[in-house]
Amino acid sequence: MLRTDTVRNILSWYEGETPGLKSNLSRLLMHGRLAGTGRVVILPVDQGFEHGPARSFAPNPIAYDPHYLYELAIDSGVSGYAAPLGLLEQGADTFAGEVPLILKLNSGNSLVGGSDQALTGKVEDAMRLGCVGVGFTIYPGSDHSYDMMEELREISLEAKSRGLMTVVWSYPRGGKVSKEGETGFDIIAYAAHMAALMGATIIKVKLPTAHLDLDAAKPIYEKHAIPREAAADRVRHIMQAAFAGKRIVVFSGGAAKNTDELLDEVRAIREGGGNGSIIGRNSFQRSKEEAIALLNQVMDVYA
C-alpha cells in the first residue's frame, strides 16, 4: 500500500528526525487493519515483569507461550507488538517481518516496589531483532524521575541515531502527585507534555479522569474554563498538551474491564482526537477468538 496523505502529514510533524526514523514510523502507521488512517492499536505484553506470570497469563494459559503472543498480534491485524527482550527474542526469527516490533527497554517488578525501573534491554538488541522502535517508562514525580529522564535522554539519542522511534510510557506517581492524581486531568496533560519535551516519537499515557490534583494548576483550569467533564474533552486537552496534537498519543487500556467499558473509552479517544490505544491485559487474557473479536471491534471504532 502506498503511504497515505494522512501518514505523510503525520511524518511532517517530526521535524529534525532522520529518514530512518520516519521510515520506521511509517512502517508502524502503514501496518495492519488501521494502515494509513493515522490511528494505531498496539499489543503490549510487559505485564509479566510488572505483575508476575500468573497474574498476567493464568486467565488464558496459552499466553505463557511467546509464540502465541506473536500470533495474536499478527492474526488480529494490530499496528505493532511491544514487549521486553525475552518475549521478542522468542519468536523474532519465526515471525520476522510479520508485525512491527517495539522493544521495551526498562521494567519494574512487584517484588521490589518503589518508583523506578531497571534497564533490561539495549538499543543494540532492538536493532538485532529488527524493531521499529524502543519503549521506555518514566515516572514523573517519583524520587527517581530525574534519573529516568536522563536515562531516556541517552537512550533516545542512541535510538534516533539508528533510525529507531522512541515510545515513552509517561506514568506520573510520587512527589506532589496524590494516588488519585496519577490519572488526574492536569497531571496526565503534564506527563504527556513532558514526554513530548523529551523528544518522544509516540507518547503513552493513561486515560485521565476529571480530577484536578495540583493546587497551582486548579485555578488556571478553572479561570480558562478548560472542559473536563466529558472523556472526549479530556482527551482533546491531552492532545493539545502534546504539541497541539503534533505528537502521536496512545492511551493505555488499563486493568481488565468488560467490552462495553473498553469500547466507550475507545470512542472517547477517537472523538477527542487521540491516535489510538495500547491494549494488553484486555486482549491477551481473553481466549484468542475473543481477543481478536475485541481488537477488531476497537479497530472498527478507530477506522
CA angle 132, 273, 19 (to 5 degrees): 30
Distances 99 to 73, 85, 91, 244, 300 between C-alpha atoms, Å: 7, 16, 11, 30, 19
Q: φ, ψ for residue 171 (rounded to 5)?
A: -120, 100
For cell 531497571, name the residue: 118
Distances 167 to 12, 199, 212, 231 between C-alpha atoms, Å: 18, 10, 26, 23
- One-letter amino acid at 84 equals P
Residue 137 parent element (H or E): strand 133-138
* Beta-bridge partners for 42: 80, 278
Is 204 an active-site residue? yes
Catalytic residue among 22, 104, 204, 206: 204
Cα 281 from Cα 116, distance rounded (Å):
22
Cα 136 from Cα 36, distance rounded (Å):
25
Q: Which residues are catalytic?
A: 204
